[in-house]
Structure 1
């Protein structure tokens, strides 16, 4: 089976982790800040806070921005559920903005229309989570302009996108958002096994997220309610969480960061090969905005079911039967049972639902060989072949 994604672990990664195992620190040592600095310097952010998952990063980002009961968080329906769940964790209400049928990202025009109506209804969002699906950035300049006009905060869910660029600058630099979030899950661009990171230019947001990731505890005198009793002293000044990243994970991340650009380049080369080899088939290959460089976490095709004359499921199962580990990213969040209980219904976001009926994620990972990719292409050709009349 050729998987849709796979981590690349090399000897230098193993040695970096072994060095930590033989050191004095397995957690809360020098590797986490080293990893944070490497990422911050790469993307051009002032602060980077490593945590145990991108979900945790989204959670503390929302809390740092003051999201709470009575507030609204909006995001895309085509994303992993964490992009929406982070709002519910804070006691807020969640809504969605339909996608652009070309990029599959949250549509700025749909957002503008929804904001205009929300202003009339008195239910503007406090936070918008803009998801860079597959590694291609959203139209962040347009989103930023709307944020300035309507007064909401912006979190970039860049879980798919480290190493990508928007307007010639690395995603995560924070030009058009308050906080950006990366994921380091094994199938992402680089991995720390599990892990995430929140990045910001804002000193106060960074300080708040630092507290929240470690129980709300501080040893900083300026954050304490009264002077320390002695050099051993700490205070819990907020209700935080145990969201810290370990030294083992951070060491792996430091080693992986040295290959980030190579990974993104290989992913883009593979995507271009797919574009060429799938061009004549009854399907749509991913469109890329000319002002961005996608990190290419995923390569999603959309089936032209009117020409294939097979069902979406038939094509998907045919590929799996041929040893191709395809997947589907994602089931629209509003169609999940939990969100249906909150009042969402089929038909609420038609572009997202149309995408779901046609999308398949093909294998794409940096160690994928040209021969493996050619095997995928042969399988796709077989799976979408038009039935004889």
Structure 2
């Protein structure tokens, strides 16, 4: 075990995954084929959304997601500083401004209270939308955010990249899966290798809106459609109706996604078993992300907070446990510092979280022996440094 590398995340590619990819590679379609539509339909069903649009990565999904919701140059959106930069960058892609609201210190999610304070500190109509993030796999309470958004005429784009399979029970005691479109106008998922569903690269945008769905389809593929072809026009006819992008996923990636999706429910169960073991080992000794009542964390990550974060990080890496940090607060990145948006906003909770956070190995194929090794090394580090 001492010489074995244990990463913070790892894809699981099975023989069945390989078989379906090879089968698709030998078919007539490599790019836009039948597997993409099948993947979209099965993914939509898995999260209980009406529509799903597959794209080449989640960043592309965020980009066309904000565009489909009408975000334009000069508009303003709110998001969390504790996320990957793409959650904010998508607004910058269209020339919109990004404003950050602080996090809830227990859940690490975008704070409803701080978002409300920020919105109400500005004139009506100042903001256009909110991009909450299901950070680490823990669902945002979108029912509460929907109420706030409706009060101020805002849309919601849920960044659910960490959370396929996560859910919360709403005030009517109904299970609301991340990305189901009941409270958010659209949601985005990632199929990066360390995520729940690995396609190499890839993403999905879900929505229940017919209008948003049609815009997503156009924007994904150059703004081109063949929907308006008449009987008098040849099969080559197409229209470019808007300036779109080549954000298409391939058929063989979709085939891999279908195979991976079939295992996600069991994968989430295993991730929660791993999380429970970590919690039992660290309860009362080390702080970790809280879990609200009636919420299921899909656990892309298991994050703990420690005082000597750099010391523990280096120690774990020396022992080939490749823990990671998620994330440097977006507003502290050089690009956003230079832009200087909302410098007067108090983001001290996000900054305090960042000073202590470290993500431990979390993936379904993590063995009990490997996890015990991680726990033992963390306990040993602290027993030697008391």
Q: Same fold (TM over 0.5)?
A: yes
Q: Which position in structure 1 is the counterpart of 2:261? A: 257
- The worse-fitting range, judged by mean Cα deviation, of 105-114 and 77-86 is 105-114
Q: Which residue of 2 aligns with 1:327?
A: 324
Structure 2 match to 1:50: 54
Alignment of 1:1-389 (within 5 A): 1-119=5-123, 122=124, 124-167=126-169, 168-221=175-228, 229-281=233-285, 283-303=286-306, 305=307, 311-344=308-341, 348-385=346-383, 387=385
SS across alignment from 1:385: helix
* TM-score (norm: length of structure 2): 0.95
Q: What is the rounded CA distance, in whole Å, between the counterparts of 1:374 and 1:227 in structure 2?
A: 67
TM-score (normalizing by structure 1): 0.94
Q: CA deviation at 1:57?
A: 0.5
Residues 7 and 361 in structure 2, CA contact (< 8 A), matched pair in contact too: yes
Query: By how many angstroms is 1:347 displaced?
Result: 7.8
Q: Is the 8 A contact 1:324 1:379 kept in 2?
A: no
- Secondary structure of the corresponding residue to residue 191 of structure 1: coil
Distance 1:228 1:76 in 2: 52
Distance (whole Å) between structure 2 residues aligned to residue 325 and residue 79 of structure 1: 20
Deviation at 1:142, TM superposition (A): 1.0
Aligned to 2:374, the other structure's residue is in SS state helix
Question: Shift of residue 231 of structure 1?
Answer: 1.9
Tell me the SS of whatever aligns to 1:68: coil
Helix, strand or coil at the partner of 1:118 = coil
- How well do the aligned residues superpose, as a CA RMSD in angstroms? 1.5
**In structure 2, C-alpha distance between the alignment counterparts of 1:357 and 1:123, rounded to whole Å:** 35
User: For the Cα contact (< 8 Å) 2:134–2:140, is it kept in 1?
Assistant: yes
Q: How far is the alpha carbon of 1:346 from its aligned partner?
A: 9.7
1:347 and 1:28 map into 2 onto residues whose CA distance is 45
- The 1:128/1:228 distance shift into structure 2, 3 A limit, reads farther
Question: CA-to-partner distance for each residue in 1:339-388, whole Å, 9 max, x for gaps?
Answer: 00011559841000000000000001000000000000011112233635
Task: Provide closer, same or farther for how the CA distance between residues 290 and 23 of structure 1 changes in structure 2, counting only shifts above 3 A.
Answer: same
Deviations 1:57-85 (A, max 9, x none): 00001001110112001100000000000
Further displaced range: 197-206 or 161-170: 161-170
Counterpart CA distance in 1 for 2:140 and 2:114 is: 13
SS at match of 1:384: helix
Give me the whole-angstrom Cα distance separating, in 2, the residues matched to 1:46 and 1:193. Answer: 25
Contact 2:40 2:54 in 1 (8 A): yes
Which ranges of structure 1 fall in alignment gaps of 5 or more residues? 306-310
CA contact (8 A) 2:197 2:257 kept: yes
Cα offsets for 1:153-209 (capped at 9, x unmatched): 000000000011121232111111100111110000111110000000100110001
